[in-house]
Structure 1
């Protein structure tokens, strides 16, 4: 019969396995059992504290702020000399105050931020030195806007209002899953997360070419937050969407949501560069964005990944009324489309993020076969080479923010798809940008 110390070691080893698979709750439980059997082993306490810490970080990322706060307090209590835990606790307390403040002032069924906005009577001063925008988007305006953004300038707030309102109307009328074909004389470029890294997006356009009648684009969510130029990217993508509504596509990502924007920088950036109304207009537009794009009946492009139920089909996505649910919440089809991730092991497992789940190669294989797809294309995660083909090539991740947040030495990537529907992967490096740090810490300090 095993001794108490041997049984404790077994629980510790099982806890390590749970920790490695991001099952923080199981890891905490197993380390606690090890401590109960052998309270004199310091490693068990430190392992449990790390499990609490990792779970707290996961809760923070998905804005379960109260749960995160509880775990950080536990870590600080059990490891009072852990400076990182103390710092995270202080940040988490700010998040809790901020989230609860906005929940307290939110009004259900509030009128649109566009209500009462009289664009016709809004005057652009004579000293505005940029190209003027009329009732339709033009290539000339976009070219001028690009140069202004490169030089640290803004466009007039009237034009911001016009762009966001026009695009909200366009995308609201699109299907939850847009279905498109690539013409014989055209190509489609699929881009992943850009996260406010405007100058890296300019490098992507330099390498791949600007959107045109024959060069379609699809941006697969998470174009705002974290980086310092989220408004510039959002306005640029929206301007192209207004100019080319039938050949420029935008999917919603998990960062095109209110709670994420309030914590990870976009709301604060909108208010600093323009005003609160601009953020509210963008928020309404994000809720109207499609959740997926079906390319040639071969590739399903969506931000996160697949589903907790094998019975989900493309028809279920088609039928999903995204307008009835402005924010994705913590469960359901919309949440899974925005939040899930692939894993190498078969089956499904707990999410390392703490929301959604992870899906294995067998899940991807069944989904593709049941729906007649060659592969799914998703984003949502950093890949060191900018992209990765997983699950026997049926799950493809593309990430377009090189040197993510100025701290990860990853490349960016994009995918070209021609009329033959063959995938061509392109990698690119980050380029220099003005010395402005990512905005997450600024957003946390706003309250």
Structure 2
């Protein structure tokens, strides 16, 4: 198996045949992060590569199209070719950039991230990103409730539990072997803070590669869990009393081989350059609007709004603060080479989350913004933004932030389209009568 292919002038068909691939899963995601694909036989690889594979964009979901619009044409990125024989022998995933009338479609998340990376490149910089993918393994019961796939996994504080990891050995080992076979560098697999919750880590890479890998890993996790009779879910808060699921990003800027974050920061004590502090300040300044992308669902705010969990902690920041090696902050600085953005959750679209976070940081760099001194453990400054309480609050913050509203392909209309869709999502949920309302109001007066 190979994770990356030196494509040169080799065709997609040649790459597929060299890797014993018989079918290609030509994949892109819509703005909610749903993977959309066609199964393409290797005999039709040339048609895919030549731009003959069309999708009805409106049917794909939130991606800026109406039923009357021209097809989205999936243009494969050959460098993303990923054989997945551990799912099906002879199958490979290849990530595609949707085009319309020969031009990259500006609503497509992968296109949006590539545009953001070009803006960085115009400033002589590149971004490297690591991602921490958390998820739950659950079963859906006959009455519609959820239970952990491992019935013995019921401790209120199961984090790092060796027994829980061992009981899920076959699943975790299969995912680890898949990642390492692809060259991703899986280095840890652990039981997370909630019963039924796990995290599997892989090495950082350039921003686009990491976003592609998050999408591919979610797909691998879903399919391999299903093959073992389980459901892998990235839902931010599937259980009221348990810690929710995060998607944390480790961000750094580079100029060629030179890391731009290390520097002499005097008495601030984190060993960061002024550029790094400006980058942090940009993210903190735009934090409320960013949450529309980092925490993009109604359920996201059940996680970030929680005050405690069965383990005693939520691991979800409430304020836009930064500090050292302290997991209570929105931005944690574990060392002087990177910053960890901790307010994202499992429902985040990695392309949109990374793109908007990088452009928020770049805005801080452009304005030489300064976040001041880092906050102490568990502290935040009085002037720090409070993160939005609901998806509707995040949407309102997005609409008031011209930098983030314009961060999707440089077009505020695309940001407005996304905001409108997320407001509609919130109102659709809000219009449903819940069991809580029946219990609270049925005989209250």
TM-score normalized by the length of structure 2: 0.26
The structure in which a higher percent of residues are helix is 1
TM-score normalized by the length of structure 1: 0.26
Which structure has the greater CA radius of gyration?
A: 1
The structure in which a higher percent of residues are strand is 2
